[in-house]
Structures are given as C-alpha cells and as structure tokens.
Structure 1
C-alpha cells in the first residue's frame, strides 16, 4: 500500500513516538516509562515483522512525500486510502484488534507502540482541543487476548506531557489522547535510518485472508492458543508519530489578548507581540518595564520611585497600568501605582493600537497584558536564589501540583523577596510577593480558578529627579538629588478574584470572572525646582503623600463556534463592569528647605513642619457590551469584525471642590481582513478606534472631554525555517483628539490641547534560527507629533517618544557533548533622542545599552550570570515632562542566579 494520503502534522523537536506495527512472535509487553506507572495488557502474536533496517517496498520515503500544512490545529480526517489489489475492504461490523500497547524510552523521547494481529488500513480523525491532542482511530478496538477491552495510561512520560492514554471510545473506535501540561502538544514527522515513514492513517498490512470473528470459546483462550492466520507476505514497517509538549521557545504561535479567544497570531489583523517566559528567564528581568524592552514601539514612561508599577509609551502614547489574563487589572489611565510582581508572570503580550473594542477605555497606542502562572496537574517544585551588586539578593519558591488523587483540585504557591541598595547613596528597598492560587474541576465541563496576589514595595528609594549641567553633561549618577531622610515609600497591592468557565457543548462556553485590586501607598520626598550655577539645587520642598486605589472588575461572555454554509464563525458576546475609586492627599513643608550643594551635599537638616497642600477623590463606573465575530470566509481569507458600546460616569473632588460629573458614552469599532497566499505568509489590514474618559484636574475646574483615537494599520506576518522563526512588519497611523498634557505652570494639573498624531513602521522577529540559537528583536520608526494645540507649536515631538528604537536579544545553547546545556546571551538596546519637555526645548540624548549572559542548564538544574549595562552606559530611561523629572538608567549590574526544579 502506498502512503500517499498522510494527515497533517507540526514539525518540532522532542518526542513521543506512536508506532503501529505487528509484534514479534511471543513478544511480551512489560514496560515502565521513566519510573512512572501505567496500565497495560500483554499480547502475543505469530505475525512476523519486516526485517530490521529494511523498509518495505510499498512504503514511500519522506523525500517522496509532499508534506501538507504544518499545524497540529489543522490536523484533519483524511479519506480512506484505496486498498491495493487482492485486499478486502473492512466491513462495518469488523474491526482491527489492537492486542497490546508498549511504551519504550528512546533517545528521541517515548516510543508508543500499538500491536495489531493483522494488517488493515486505519484512518485518523483529529479532535484536538485545548491542551489535548486527540486522535480517533475508527475501525479498531483495544482487546486483551481474551477479547476484553482495556485502557492504557502513561503518566508524565515527558516534562511537558501530563498523560498519554489509549482507550476504546465505542465498539469500533480507539482514541489516543496526549495531554499537554501548558498547551496543545505538537506533532513531528520522524524518518530514521530504517526508512520508516509517518502515516497514522495506515496500519501495517499483511496479505492474509480476513480473520474470522472469535467465538465465545475462542475469547476464553489465551492469545497463544487463539487460532491465527499466518500472513503470506511481510508486513510494512512500523509507522511513527512524534508528539511533543510545549517547548521553551521565543516564538509564540497563538494568543488570546487580541481577540479574547485562542487564535493563531497569523490570523489576527493587528500587530501583537508575545514575550514568553523563557525570554524573561534568560534576561533575568526584574520588572514589567524591563520585560517589554524587546518589543518594538514600546519605551519606559516612568515609575513611582522605582516601584514595580508605572507606565509605558506604546506607539507614541502613554498607557498607565496594565491588564491581567485578559481583563482590567489596575483601573484607568491615571493608575500608575498598582504593583505587579514579575515572579508571577508566565508571559507578557503587547497588543498594538486601539483595543477599546474588547477592553473598554484605553489609550490608542496599545495595552500590555500579563498572563500569570497557573496551577499544574503534576507536582512541580522550584527553589531559586539570585544575588548581585548594589546589595541585591532574591530568594524565591514556586510550588505546584494536585491536592487530591483524581487531580480535580490543583494548587500553586509563588513567593519571593527582593532586596536592593540601589545605585544612589542612602538607598535601600525591598519587594515581597506572595501569590497562592487554586484550580477546581467542578465537573466534566466546569472549571473554577481562584487566586490571590500580595505585593509590597517599601524602603528608601532612588530619587527620580535628575538633570544636566549647562554644558549637557550629566550630574553624578550616585548623587541623591534631595534629602534622603525625608524620602520613603510603602506601597501594598492586593489582588484576588476568580475565573469560571462553563462548557455548554463542544462548541459553546460561558466565561465569567471577577477581580479586586487594592493599593495603599504612603510616600515622601524632598526635591528642588532648579539647579543654579551648576552647583546648587534650590527651591526644595518636602512632600508627604497618601493615596488609595480600589478597582473592581466583573465580566461575563459567551463564546461559540458555528457555520453558515461553508463559512465558519467564532462568535464572542460579552458584558463587563468596572468601578474604580481613588483618594489622594498631599502635605507640603510650610517653607522651602535649605539649598543643596551638589558637590558637597549636607543632608543633616531638621524635620520640616507639614501643612495640607492638595487632595482629591474620584470614582469612575463603566459598563461595556461588546460583540465580535471571527469569520473564516475561505481557508486563507479571514475577517475580524467587532464593536463595543461603553457608558462611563465620573465624579471628582479637588481639594474640597466638586468637579462637574462627567457622563460619557462611545462606540468603538474594529474591522480587519487577513489574506494568506501561503501557509507561511499573512497579509492583513485593519481599522480600529479607542475611547478614554479624561481624568485629572483642569486649572479652571472645567470637565475634560474624553479622548478618542483612530488607527489604520497594514502589515505582513511571515514564518521562516518551518515556522520556527516568525516576523511581523507593520505600518500604521494613529490620530488622537482631545488630548491632555501636564500644565507647565503647575505640574499637579493638566490642560486639554487638541490633536496628536503618530505614524510608524515596526518590525518584530522571534524564534529559533538554528538548534540552540534563539533570537527576539525589534525595530521601530515612530513619528509622533502635535498636530493641533493651543500652547505648544504644531509639529513638536511628543514627550519621551524616540524616532528610532531597536532591540536584539539572542542566546545560543550548546546541544551536544560534555558542554551540553552551556549557553551564552547577548542583548543590544537602542533608544534614540527624545523630547524631555513638551515644548521640545530640551532633548534627551540617545543611548545604546549592552546586556550579556552566560548560563548552564542540565536536567532540572539552572545556573546563570547576567549582566545589564555591560559597558556602564549613562542614560536616562524616562521623563515626566518637567524640570528635574527624569529617571536615570542603572549602571553596570551583575546578577548571579541558581535554581533547582524538582
């Protein structure tokens, strides 16, 4: 029989092998896979196999086969191959008996063998869903020698595979299930030196007469006594299927952020970049702002005294706060204080452009969504420790696994403590993160996840203020520009909630989540207004502030798949609610503090007397209803269309004076088209809008109008090297109206100025170039400027936005020999000139920072040495848009780390 109709597969590495073959005479199944137990049955047969190392003449070599699309999601049922002459068709009431199952460890993974008593054609139907690779084999049945059914199970055969099962679905169907620990397992063709080929839709064939049905008496006999027909010809070689779990990679294939559905990146008509956990681990990032440094068009927008919070400039526009697992985590755009612990993050996803259609009120540049680590079904224990210069050290633990025997209750517990003295004098801060979570399987169709996360940042932080001397040179980097005894921070964020998924059928499900995020912060600082004669900081005032943020978010949606004729739909209908409450109070010293000599600072001063300065409280409530349809018009032509209607109300009080209540509503559409001329190329175009109620305080106490953003985008997404390397090239234009900026006369207020526009080109690359050589990199050209304004000149560049930005992080790990597991990393991060003030009177210089790493990974042991800013480049990482409002980049930093996984 020629294997000219093979089902589709995904080409990757590492492996579980499925071999459909006829066992050797008297062969006995007795295995234990990597110390894990499994259920099995012993079967014997007198049917001989083809001689080892000799391929059957009826089997095509891989070089002769035109491979189809390489996607496990696209694995489909193939037509029953035509039988060769002189072979009977299988009748509907007869099945191929599979009398034994073997699992053998090999250097390629785990070899799974189904043993048959006679040759017959087998076809496969793919039913894969979620983390489960499922293949049904019609016309077959698992049997003991006595004819009884059984189940084969192998638990944890690979680190990335939770379980393999082979069982009977009904009287004439066998089901193979491979459960991935984190994602859908993948498939690979395997062609070894014996010339074996892939073809699960065809079993081994013998030219023997059909086997007669067994009688009840026959079923009571051992296999060796059951009459067997001797074949008249040799069988074909075993057929091998390679299945792997999720491999640590730099190239993500799908995301849920852009559509709130698990959608391949190539099917999304919008630019979205994913930073996987492996990149975060390899770079040893310590905050979310460091995590997105490899993404094009994203730069730092500052933080609150170095806390793990703050914002990012995306495509020219500042987005404060972020999203968590696809829902609003920290309130609206003025929330830059809620903390996010890096140790709980599995991966980071950055959606470029307006995202209001699914996420409500956001800036038009894009959003950052973090995907958190979830409980695992197999025991997992990780112990880690990091240490470095500037007094840095961080112990951490990450434990997970089942809490009961049937694995319906899973847990995860993450905790770490980070201490650092910082690079400025008189600095010491620490971060504590504690994050337990539980997953409950309440039934075959119901899953509930509960989580809690506590993050505390406190101590005596770096002073954000910095500036140039008159000749453009920088102030000393270790200089604390203020009075350290009057500076401190204590911020606590607690997050808790649940996610409930209820499957209604194989195609429809209801999802519901509710979350609460609370932040309580006290901080103080003493900073000046200007530097006189390049020697003295003058106009120094001391402030003490206290603020609280409570954010409540709830969402429910319906997700389903259906067809209208030949057109496939994936429909999403949802509703969400968000309430955000903030209070803020500031005290200020009753008189200016003594001037500070920059070259000979005297920090010994008496504590000042504080008086009330200003305060505000605000409450914002929003309701949103959204509809989205992902339409597959053809296999290579896909339409994404959606819209959202928002209703938002705001109440604010500024220093006891009530601002006018704002009630806003907006409709935010999105439409996009994807055309795929080949399996490796996607061409897309899209149109989208955003909506954001404007918050802050107007000096004349008038309510601000909401801002609106409109984007046009087109691009191409391409896969290279059999899908191991992916690129996205995008061009866009965003126009934002009703813009507010900081008031240059009073930084505690804002003014609404008009219109801003951002145009750009972005390139992102991620994946594996050669075995062991991984890369993630980007380039962005951003032309962001003022197009209408009342105080600022038209054509001025937007604050803190570089025209050119590029990044490259690459690692190479030795794959063989005594040095296997040893690897090296190199990072280059370039940020061009940026406007330091809104009027463009001062420009921050460009910089190129170099990072490096050396690491060793073997089995479950990991050790690394990471260097950030290898050549000790002095640079500014962000600007707040006013004098002495710059954040300094850290100097040469080295971190050693070690981790055991059990």
Structure 2
C-alpha cells in the first residue's frame, strides 16, 4: 500500500516536472546557443575582452576604454557556482599578486568598478570554501606601499567580492587567468598623491601586464623594504546564505524573515556537546524540556519549535533521543510560522540541522574531548574522493561518548556513525546517500519538584528522585538525494528518507511521578517497563525554475511531500511507593505489575503541495509569495479503542524586502502555520487544526564593511483553536483557546577586527493567554522569559611568536519564567558565564572550555511542578584535534 501511494506521487511529480522542463528548457536552448564559456571582465556593466593567459600576454599598453566591446549580440550564460578553495598572496617586483585558487578559473565572471579609493571586483558565480566546506575570508592590511587593505570575501550566496583599497588613489590592478592556479590579481605599489600626476578619472585601471610565470622577489620602495602581512582565516561566525527559509540558496539579506545560522566554528569554539548549548546563541530561543532526559525541546518566540534535519521533520516518530552534533555542519533557526514550505509546524518557527557533506579534497580530522563528571568523547571526521576523476566522494563521521553527570546515578553512553556517499553521475546529475545510526543508553530523569510554597525544593541539584533505569534508544536514518539540472535555470531535487527508531525500558524505570507531593516531603512514584517502535517514510520533490517576465526576475519553487509514519507501543506499570526528597531511600517497595499491558498503535499519513515565487521587481526590491495545501490523517488505537483524526489546511506567505542601500534590507511579512489536533469533540467531529498567524517587520544590516551581519525584528504571533475543557462535559474539549506572543529580537554575528569574532543576541518576549476558559486570560505562557540575552566573543593572535593563541568568553542571560499556565510558580532568572582558551598551530588545535565559570545554580528548563531541570555546575572540558 505504501509503495502504491509513493508510485502515484512519483508519476504525478514526473508529469509536472516534464511539462515545466519542456517549457523552460526550450527557452534555455535558444539562450545557450549564444553562450560563451570564458572569463568575462565587465566594466560599468559592459563586456570587455577575455583576460589573456600568461602565455598569451602581449607587451603593449591598452587602456580599459579601448577594450570595451558592444554586448548587443551576446548573452551571458548562467554558470555553475565555482568553488574557490584558497586565497594566496605573493610578493612581486611591482607589488604583490593575490591568487584565487580554483581549477575552473575560465568559468568565472568578473565585474569591476571603483568606489572612492577602492578597486572592487564582484565574481557573481563563485564562493569561497575551504576544503572542509566552511566559508572563509581573506584580508591583508597595509600589504604594500599605497594600499591600505585587500579583502576577498563572500558577498552573498553566489558572489565573491575582491576589494583593493588605496591610500589616496584607486590602485592599479592587473588581471590574469592562470590555468594552473586560477585568477590572479596583480596589485602595484603606488607613491603618495603628492608625487602623482593629476588624475582626471577614478575608473579602475586595468592594464595588460608584463609576461611572467613565476612571482619575483619583493623589491624596495626607496630604501625601505616592503612589509607583507597577510591573514587568511575562516570567517566562522558570519553566514551570508541559507536554504531553510526558501528551500533555495538565497542570501539571508534577501529573505523577508528572521533567520539565524550557527556555523560549525561557533560550535567548536564554545565546546558545545548538546543542541541546547548551540541554539542559546539565537535571540528568543530557550531550552524548554528534556522529556525525562530523552530529548531536547525548545521555545522560540514563546511557542514550541519544530525540529528538522535537512528539511525533514524530526518529531516524535523519527527521533527518541538527543540530537548528536558529530555530523552537524550548522544549525539554521527560522523564526515565525513556517508551514508554507514545511507543513505542520508550531508558529514559533523551525530549527533545521544541516548535516556535513562529502568533500572532493582529502580531509581527515581526529579529536578527543575529556572533562569532569567522567566525560570522554573521541570523534573522527574523514572525507575525500574515492575515484581519480573525483566523481565519487565520501564523508564519514563517528563519535563515541561515555559520560557521568552532576546528577546522581545518571550515566550515559552513546555511539554514532554517519557515512555519506556522493556520486556525480554527470555534470548535471548527482546522487547522494546519507546514513546515520545512533545507539544511546541513559536513564529517565525528570529533575526536581516544586513545593507548596511555590518554590523549587531546597535540595541538592544532584539528587535523582527515582532510580537509574536502563533505557536503550536506537535510531537509524537513511536518506537518498537526487539532484538534476535540466539547464542552468531549471533543476529538480528528489529526496526519500526512511527512519527507524525505538525506545526500550527494561528495568527499574522508577521515574514516573504517580501522585502528589505529600507534606512537601514524600513524592509518589511508579515504575514502568515496555518498548516503543517507530518508522517513517518521507518523499519530497522540489522543482526550481528561474525565468524573466520582461525586466522582472522569478525563482519559482514547486514542491510535493508525502509522508507516512507508524508507531506501536506496549508497556506495563506498577507502584513504587514514595521517596523522601530530603532524605531519600533508594530501596523501593514495589507493588504488583498491572495485569494487562497498555498497548497501542498509530498510523499518520500526510500529503502537501506547495508553490513559491521569489520575485525581483528591482535590484533593491524583492517579493516572496507562497502557499501550501496539506492533508492529514491519523488512524490510532489505544487498548483496542480506535480514534481517527482528519485535517486539511492552507498556509500562505507574503513577504517583501526593500534595500535602500546595499548594506541595509528592510522587510515585512505575513505567514501562517497549522498543527493537527488529535481526538474528537463531544459531537464526534474532528478538531480543526491549530492555526498560527504571524506578522513581522525588521531590518537587516551589513556593518563594518560587511564583516558583521545583524537582524532586528518586531513580531506579533497568534495561536488559535487551542483545546480547552468543555464546560458542558469536562471529559471533552472545545477549541476556544488563544495565545499571543509579541516581541523584539536582535542578532549580530561576524568579525569586528581580524581575529576578533562575536555572536550576540537579545530578545524581549511577551507571550500570554488571550482567550481561555480554564486558565486566566493574561497569564504568561510557561517557560517563556521576558528577556534573554547572549554574548560570545573570541580573539586569536594573528602574528608573532604566539600566533594561534586565542581566548573566548561569554555570558548567557535568561529572565524569570512562569512554571505552568496557571502561573502558580516561577523559576528565577540566571546569568551563566563561560570562557575558553585556544591554541592552533598548523593542523593541530587544543582548547579548554570553562562552562558556568562562577558555579551559578540555575534551572534551564521547566515543564510543570514535577519536572524542573537544573543546569550543570562549573564544568571543565579539554579538546585536542589533528587535521591531516
């Protein structure tokens, strides 16, 4: 039956793709007949002739104006994004040359202009990427006489910007295309303005260079030698593009939404070992609950965030334990309702984990982390090509973790292995297979409890109110991605994922709180044994087409998603008596197990179709329109009692971006979300889905010459159709509840000065009940602080004998939070301070991370009066790693 449904979707998708491909490809053929695959240098948007290779250079002087040709009969093709894997600077007899290393130099396009005293080149079909896949920035300050700075950076998702700034004049820059190295920018040293002849133009000076195949030794200007200081480093904190918000590679500045990306460099610098330590860097995100030490759930802007992995939902059916960071490249947080592309989701937004992908060049990294509470974690990250033609590449991530805890008897052990293969079948077709397996062993731990005085019990935060059970969790994910490019303007991605996960509690799972806290001392508890098994099948198709209607540019995304999920469970329970929370005795007195096990099964089927158009009305005015229609069916049975839920929903999005200047983006958006509601009303009807409605305006800025990126957002989100008790029959529910969240959030990340990086955030969140017949209107939503803030910064020495030595530090503040919707208690605010020391030498790196430096007692999450999760006290972890 499943295969039959999938086959129907494949046939339908193929038909749609074929129709669209036929139309768009016909247009592309006409364009490509005239295309030329050469390096083009564009001056003032006019095409000039090819840059000669070194062996073809003629010794003659020709001005840039003489090189201009008429482009009327030419059509520039849309080439693939070329990866520039390194930037080098070499001294020459005239100054220095900057080399952008790539084996596809002849495919680059160069657009040159001047601004003030700067010569600027934009390469609109390239990206700076290290062999590891990370983005980086090259910068050289005062490298030669007359030049104050040279930078090479990723301007957006598909553009490299080269900037050469002179002291008083636009520098003289010569361009080469080297078949062995890539593109060469030859920069000549200059004398001060007083010694120059008057200039009548500030156009970039592009000259035919003298023939030379090897850089010569540096020469002196007068009697003083030229001092060459070059810093090339990974631009680890600032990310310019992401795919979560639009499912297309779109610069973040062009997206009408607040989306924050936490790259791998931040994860490594902070020594993060869990997702909660990573997402705290994003405004408006705070840890919510651990579901008894199983998983990690988060609030974003007051509501529960839905988690995804590479665009696939990570929910109750696909994961039963905490996400491991071993194969995670970055984490993207999209705020606000997001059902337009991702289907059912809470109005908070989504957290999308982007996994590491195979690299073409050899990359090997081995690391080991150790810390107090018996924490040990070795990891490996290997990648490279498996064939000489580099058409088959792999990535292998693996980690083993054995850890104690500041919580008594809470020991964990986990293992993850995640291999990935990528096969470039043809220049236009790529097949990627990704597999991961996790085995995790950990006890159930529900934290601390609240007393009748509405305060958390004054007991050691280490105390476990139960017994260390034996819980086993296993997860397997298998994903296939097929990417095909019909033409430069039409592409298709088809993806299929299968997951299998299980949870088994075999003995002494004494952590189920079965009753109230008597006399503020004795907690009733129970014991449960059993197992659950889950499977998911998800099939996605995304067709992307780019075309123009007159002067208006379109990027259209058409998608289909089919998913089926299965769940079966069986467990038995028994009474375990009580535990004295102030003087615990772990010799429990057990009652008899239930005579009959609790059993159930569940099958959920969903289908979604969506359409999105990213419209460029003007160079500085962009519009995003989209909509998605979903159907949902949940057929479940518990102890023989069947329940069926049907729902459908349409989720629109409208957003606009206006850029008054290139560094500033003003945006506004309207979005909706939906979440199915299980069960039926007193009349026997299925409940309507919960609906989220979001309004947002904001501004995004590029600061410090593009080294820093920031987002300031104002939002209003309403969640309606919330279940409340039916006054006519308390055994049933009605949908009259409504909750609203309003607030401001601010994020900034990047590099202030060479070697000085920063990531910081602030959020004000006013989340409360606006309609209800159970809880008081005006009550705050539980576990949502009014104010949160974070600041993390690092500095690494760039020169001298201590080059590679760095320090880092940060503070993470969370305001007081209501512990439940009744607002019967709250947990106090806290500020946690972390610090770090680093040393990097060649391919060796050592780091020491100090977490909760001042040993602050705090509670990082709360679910109700019987589940308050304390944060870890002062912790030290050391990491050493080798890359070879």
Q: Do Structure 1 and Structure 2 share a fold, with TM-score over 0.5?
A: yes
Give, in whole Å, the separation in 2 of the partners of 1:187 and 1:672. Answer: 28
Shift of the 879–740 alpha-carbon distance from structure 1 to 2, 3 Å rule, reads farther
Residue 310 of structure 1 is aligned with which of 283, 289, 296?
296
Q: Distance in 1 between matches of 2:41 and 2:558?
A: 28
Q: CA deviation at 1:543?
A: 1.9
Segments of structure 2 that go 5 or more residues without pairing to the other structure are: 1-39, 70-75, 86-98, 110-123, 136-157, 176-203, 213-228
Q: What displacement does 1:245 show?
A: 9.1
Q: State the shift of 1:766 in Å.
A: 0.9
User: Quick check: 1:362 aligned with 2:345?
Assistant: yes
Kindly indicate whether the alpha-carbon contact (under 8 Å) linking 1:772 and 1:814 is maintained by their aligned counterparts in 2. yes
Cα deviations across residues 91-143 of structure 1 (Å, max 9, x unaligned)?
x9xx885343xxxxxxxxxxxxx854444455797966334469xxxxxxxxx
The residue number in structure 2 matching 1:129 is 80
Report the equivalent of 2:11: none
Q: Which residue in 2 is equivalent to 1:293?
A: 280
Give the match's secondary structure for 1:610. coil
C-alpha spacing 1:566/1:96, structure 2 compared with 1 (3 Å): closer
Q: Which residue, out of 500, 512, 525, partners 2:482? A: 500
Distance in 1 separating the partners of 2:404 and 2:848: 19
Structure 2 residue 162 is the aligned partner of structure 1 residue 188 = yes
Secondary structure of 1:828's counterpart equals: strand
Distance in 2 of aligned mates of 1:206 and 1:399: 42
Aligned match for 1:631, one of 599, 615, 635: 615
Structure 1 residue aligned with 2:564: 579
C-alpha distance in structure 1 between counterparts of 2:734 and 2:655, whole Å: 35
User: C-alpha displacement at 1:824, in angstroms?
Assistant: 1.1
Mapped pair 1:346 → 2:326: no
* Residues 604 and 749 (structure 1), Cα distance of their counterparts in 2 relative to 1, 3 Å cut: farther
- In the alignment, the residues of structure 1 paired with residue 647 and residue 862 of structure 2 have an alpha-carbon distance, to the nearest angstrom, of 31
Judging changes above 3 Å, is the alpha-carbon distance between structure 1 residues 808 and 126 closer, same or farther for their aligned structure 2 residues? Answer: farther
2:715 to 714, 732, 752: 732
CA displacement at 1:312 relative to structure 2: 1.1
SS class of match (2:305): strand
Query: Following the alignment from structure 1 to structure 2, what is the Cα–Cα distance between the partners of residues 457 and 750?
Result: 37
SS of residue matched to 1:540: strand
Q: Which residue number corresponds to residue 98 of structure 1?
A: 53
User: CA offsets per residue over residues 278-336 of structure 1, 9 Å max, x none?
Assistant: 111111111222210111111112123434x332111111135x11122334467xx76
From 715, 718, 721, the equivalent of 2:698 is: 715
Question: For 1:537, which of 522, 527, 549 is the aligned residue?
Answer: 522
> Could you tell me how far 1:478 is from its partner in structure 2?
4.6
TM-score of the aligned structures, taking structure 1 as reference length = 0.75
**Cα distance in structure 1, aligned partners of 2:656 and 2:454:** 52
Partners of 1:468 and 1:474 within 8 A in 2:
yes
**TM superposition shift of 1:703:** 4.3
In the alignment, what sits opposite 2:139? none
Q: What do residues 66-99 of structure 1 show as CA deviations (whole Å, max 9, x unaligned)?
A: xxxxxxxxx98325889xxxxxxx9x9xx88534
SS at 2:253's partner residue?
Answer: helix
Q: Deviations over 1:562-606 (max 9, x none)?
A: 1111111111111111112122333210xx333323333221236
Partner of 2:857: 874
Q: Per-residue deviation at 1:607? A: 5.6
**Structure 2 residue aligned with 1:832, among 793, 815, 818?**
815
**Is the contact made by 1:273 and 1:295 (CA closer than 8 Å) also made in structure 2?**
yes
Counterpart Cα distance in 2 of 1:862 and 1:832: 36
Contact 2:448 / 2:457 at 8 angstroms: preserved in 1?
A: no
Secondary structure of the residue aligned to 1:269 is coil
Is 2:417 the partner of 1:434?
A: yes
Q: For the residues of structure 2 that align with 1:285 and 1:880, how far apart are their CA atoms? A: 24
Say if 1:665 and 1:323 are closer, same or farther in 2 by CA, change over 3 A: same
Q: Is the deviation greater in 607-616 or in 768-777?
A: 607-616
User: In the TM superposition, what is the alpha-carbon distance from 1:465 to its structure 2 partner?
Assistant: 4.0
Which residue of 1 is the match for residue 355 of structure 2?
372
Distance change >3 Å, CA 730–CA 692, structure 1 → 2: same
Give 2:376's aligned residue. 393
Alpha-carbon distance, 1:434 to partner:
0.4
- Higher alpha-carbon deviation: 849-858 or 610-619: 610-619
| Distance 1:206-1:824 versus aligned 2 partners, 3 A rule | closer
RMSD (Å) for aligned C-alpha atoms? 3.5
Query: C-alpha distance in 1, partners of 2:857/2:128?
Result: 49
Contact 2:477 2:497 (8 Å CA) reproduced: yes
Aligned-pair distance for 1:701? 8.7
Q: Is residue 573 of structure 2 the alignment partner of residue 588 of structure 1? A: yes
| Aligned counterpart in structure 1 of residue 586 of structure 2, from 600, 603, 607 | 603
Post-superposition shift, 1:473? 5.7
Tell me, which stretches of 5 or more residues in structure 1 are unaligned?
1-74, 83-89, 101-113, 135-156, 170-174, 208-222, 225-241
The equivalent of 1:204 in structure 2 is 207
Contact 1:97 1:117 in 2 (8 A): no
Question: How far apart are the structure 1 equivalents of 2:791 and 2:828?
Answer: 20
Q: TM-score by structure 2 length?
A: 0.77
Question: Higher Cα Rg: structure 1 or 2?
Answer: 1
Task: Name the SS of the counterpart of 2:820 in structure 1.
Answer: coil
Match of 1:270 in 2: 257
Distance (whole Å) between structure 2 residues aligned to residue 615 and residue 78 of structure 1: 72
Q: Deviations over 1:728-761 (max 9, x none)?
A: 1101111111124899xxxx99985511111111
| Cα separation, 2, equivalents of 1:900 and 1:647 | 50
Residue 428 to residue 80, structure 1, CA distance change in 2 (3 Å): closer
1:900 aligns with 2:855: no
CA contact (8 A) 1:833 1:846 kept: yes
Q: Would you say 1:768 and 2:723 are equivalent positions?
A: no
Query: CA 1:453 to 1:247, structure 2 compared with 1: closer, same or farther past 3 Å?
Result: same
Q: Secondary structure at the match of 2:265?
A: helix
Question: Alignment partner of 1:848: what SS?
Answer: strand
Residue number in structure 2 paired with 1:78: 43
How many residue pairs align between the two structures?
Answer: 732
Shift of 1:814: 1.3
**Equivalent pair of 1:339/1:493 in contact (CA under 8 Å):** no
Q: CA 1:600–1:406 in structure 2 vs 1: closer, same or farther (change >3 Å)? A: same
Deviation at 1:695, TM superposition (A): 3.6
CA distance 1:710–1:471, change in 2 (3 Å):
closer
d(CA) in 1 for partners of 2:342 and 2:403?
Answer: 36
Equivalent residue for 2:624? Answer: 640
Alignment partners' CA distance in 1, 2:441 and 2:561: 34
SS, match of residue 270 in structure 1: coil
- For 2:160 and 2:678, locate their aligned partners in 1 and report how far apart those are by CA, in whole Å: 47
Per-residue deviation, 1:490: 0.8
1:783-794 matched pairs, under 5 angstroms: 783-794=766-777
Counterparts of 1:253 and 1:696 in 2: how far apart (Å)?
A: 44
Give, in angstroms, the shift of residue 849 of structure 1. Answer: 1.0
Q: Deviations over 1:213-251 (max 9, x none)?
A: xxxxxxxxxx99xxxxxxxxxxxxxxxxx9999933211
State how 1:457-476 maps to structure 2 within 5 Å: 457-460=440-443, 462-467=445-450, 470=453, 472=455, 474-476=457-459
**2:271 paired with 1:284:** yes
8 Å contact kept, 1:482–1:527? no
* TM superposition shift of 1:615: 3.7
SS at match of 1:357: helix
Question: Would you say the 8 A contact 1:468–1:475 is kept in 2?
Answer: no
2:539 — aligned with what? Answer: 554
